[in-house]
Structures are given as structure tokens and as C-alpha cells.
Amino acid sequence: MDNFTYKNPTEILFGKGMIPELKGRIPASLKVLFLYGGGSIKKNGVYDQVRDALKGRKVIEFSGVEPNPSYETCLKAVEIVRKEKVGFILAVGGGSVIDAAKFIAAAVLFKGKDPWVILEEGGSNVKMALPIGTILTLPATGSESNGNAVISRGSTHEKLSFYSSKVYPVFSVLDPKTTYSLPAKYVRNGIVDAFVHVMEQYMTYPAKVPLQDRLAESLLQTLIEIAPAAMKRPVQYEARATFMWSATLALNYLISCGAPQDWSAHMIGHELTAFYGLDHAETLAIVLPGVWRHQFKAKQKKLEQYAGRVWGLRTAEEAIVKTEEFFHSLKMPTRLGHYKISAEEAAAKIGARFRERKVFLGEHGTIGAVAIAEILRSRA
């Protein structure tokens, strides 16, 4: 086991009817930025619950945060926060809104000229941030209980992430009932996203971290087990509750404490979103099996462990096939062709970008531009 430090100060408020709990948790003296995306929270009643809980406070609304939240939108919010002297950001929505809140919270107090540098330097330059609270309505990214955020820049087709201990939400409300109105596609995306988050912290090599392995396998087994019930209508509270809690624990980084990680599928997937606009989860389902096949020898032992413990199968090959079948069972495609994207073109474009950035991926840092192009070419 490698040395590690771990701290997760976010307070989780989990369950039905928990939104009013935010009342006592935002200092009364602070002006609140109520940040959200499109109009879905107005249709499903969440907007009204939040306004009720914020009664008597100074609140400024900012809506229109996009999926894959854009730098440009965030900058507009930063301007308003500064002008209005906002002291607390309440993000209501999915990972996109929460990620935007984190970037805004850091950018407002950033001393440099252009806050894009926060992303270019991965957050190491964030010295302080406004406090954030979240009300999660889309289980998927785990952003409600970690210090990570991903922001996109339309003008340059860039999608970059940062981490800072300063942007953990102070509290996050997880009410499974807020997920009831989600379209099936979002539930599917959330399950795949959480599943691959676990995989990126697990599918490396046998690293003498038996507890971390078993915790990861617990999450994988649970997600597989509850996926059909979580997708079903009429909605089942228990399945949605387990899905929601699983997605949070999938990416609060507890399961990878002291363990090696390989975030290749995410890094390559981000580029597919940046160039072609695919949903984040859609990119993961395409890339993950490609990384596994390309790195078959390096990951074979761990794939076999996964095969046996999670699926009751024997070989690494069987585990890969079964994983793709699992994605297909959720109506999640695993090939670029499904989206009419040329694998050759994607390989060329994205390979070139990694060559330029001189970035190497994988748990041993050996997956370079050539390998990345090969992986994408294999996902035609």
C-alpha cells in the first residue's frame, strides 16, 4: 500500500425530504448564488423546495449552466458574484452545475489575470474559494463529495480538470426523489459513469491492496445488481437511493487510498467530448474496453480477479466481453461507429493533441500518443 493522505469534509444529507436541511447550513449573513442548469428543476418541484428553504435570504439566481459546463458561462457568473458580493454558492443539479460552482468559487478569489490558468495548472494555484453547498439531482460524477471539477472551453475545443481541497462542498443534499423525473438516458449515463469511476481506481495490476480491491468490487457488484431496478418505471425509491449513494462513494476517492490508478479512459474520453460533443458516459463506454484490450498483458491479472469476483467468470477476455454486454444491457453503445464518428479521424486528431501536450497515461505512465491513436482506431 502506498502512503496517502485523505480528508473529505463534505457533510452528506441523504434521503427523502432532506432539502430543507440546508437552512441551518448557510450562514444567514451571506448572499447566496442559486446556480442551476436548464429548467428541469422548475418542472420537478426541486426549484420550489429550494426557494422555500432559502426564504428570507438574499438570493441571486444564475441559470443556464450547460452539460460540460463552459468556461464562458462560468466567467459570466464570476462577474455577477463579484458585483453582487455573493458569499455562498448553492449548486442545484448534476455534476455539471456542481463543477461550474467549484470553478466559479475558485475563480472569484483567484489573484491571477486569467482564471483559465487554474485549469492549466490542475488547481495547484487555488489558494482560497467561496463556500459551496450542493443539491444533487443527477447521480453520476461524484462531484458532490470531492474536490474535482471539469470545465470546457468552446473556442478551443478544450476540456480540462482541476482539483483543490478548497472546493469540497460544505454540504450536499442527496434526495433520491429528485432523480424521479430524470430521462432514462441520464440514469443510464449515471450508472456507466459511476461504474467507470470505480474501474479507473481499480483496473490496474494486483497491488497488495486487498481492502481497496474489495471495496471497489462491492461498488461494481452493487451497480450491476441494481442497474435494472434503477432504470425501471415506475421508479423504485430503494434502487434510486442505492444508485445515488453508490455514485457518490464511487468517486470520493476513498476506494483508491494507497492504490494505483489509471484514468486513461477519462482522459481520452474528455477529448471525444471536446471534439464530437458525446456525453461523458458515452465516451467512457467506448474507450474503456479499448484501453483494456490494448493493455491486455499489463491488466490481465486484475481483469481475471474482476472476472472471478464480480461476474463469476474465469478469463480476462470474458470479463471484457461481459462488461461491454453490461453497457449494452443499459442501451449504451460502445463503438464510435454508432455515432457515425470516423475512428481514423478521431485517432488522428486526439493522438495529435496528446503528442502536442506530451502527456502519458496509464498506471505506469506508458500510454502515449501512438497507443492512444491505436486504442481509438480499435473502437470503430
Should residue 301 be labelled a site residue for its own copies when binding is judged by CB under 8 A?
no
Kindly state the smallest distance separating residue 101's Cβ from its own copies, in Å: 19
Burial of 306 (0-12, 13-18, 19+ CB in 10 A): buried
Is 15 or 38 the residue whose CB approaches its own copies more closely? 15
What 3-state class would DSSP assign to 281? Answer: helix
Should residue 245 be labelled a site residue for its own copies when binding is judged by CB under 8 A?
yes
Number of Cα atoms under 13 Å in the Cβ half of residue 8: 18
Kindly state the smallest distance separating residue 3's Cβ from its own copies, in Å: 3
Q: Which amino acid, one-letter code, is at 146?
A: N
Between CA 91 and CA 132 the distance in angstroms is 7
Is 154 or 210 the residue whose CB approaches its own copies more closely? 210
Stretch that binds its own copies, among 32-40, 65-73, 188-196, 204-212 (CB under 8 A): 204-212
DSSP assignment string, 79-132:
HHHHHHT--EEEEEESHHHHHHHHHHHHHHT--SS-THHHHHTTTTT------E
Kindly state the smallest distance separating residue 27's Cβ from its own copies, in Å: 17
Stretch that binds its own copies, among 35-43, 95-103, 205-213, 291-299 (CB under 8 A): 205-213
Should residue 316 be labelled a site residue for its own copies when binding is judged by CB under 8 A?
no
- Quick check: 81 and 108 in contact, CB under 8 A? yes
Binding mask 250-279 for its own copies (x = CB under 8 A): ----x--xx---------------------
> 64 φ, ψ to 5°?
95, 15
Kindly state the smallest distance separating residue 177's Cβ from its own copies, in Å: 11
Should residue 150 be labelled a site residue for its own copies when binding is judged by CB under 8 A?
no
Residue of 5, 55, 113, 155 that binds its own copies (CB under 8 A): 5
* Distance from chain centroid for Cα 296: 25
Should residue 226 be labelled a site residue for its own copies when binding is judged by CB under 8 A?
yes
Should residue 218 be labelled a site residue for its own copies when binding is judged by CB under 8 A?
yes
Q: Which amino acid, one-letter code, is at 43?
A: K
Rg of the chain on CA atoms, in Å: 20
Name which of 374, 161, 371 is nearest 266 in CA terms: 161
Stretch that binds its own copies, among 52-60, 210-218, 262-270, 271-279 (CB under 8 A): 210-218
Name which of 268, 276, 277, 313 is nearest 295 in CA terms: 268
Is 18 or 268 the residue whose CB approaches its own copies more closely? 18
Kindly state the smallest distance separating residue 10's Cβ from its own copies, in Å: 7
Should residue 13 be labelled a site residue for its own copies when binding is judged by CB under 8 A?
yes
- Report the interface residues with its own copies, using CB under 8 A: 1-18, 21, 208-211, 214-215, 217-219, 221-222, 225-226, 238, 241-242, 245-246, 249, 254, 257-258
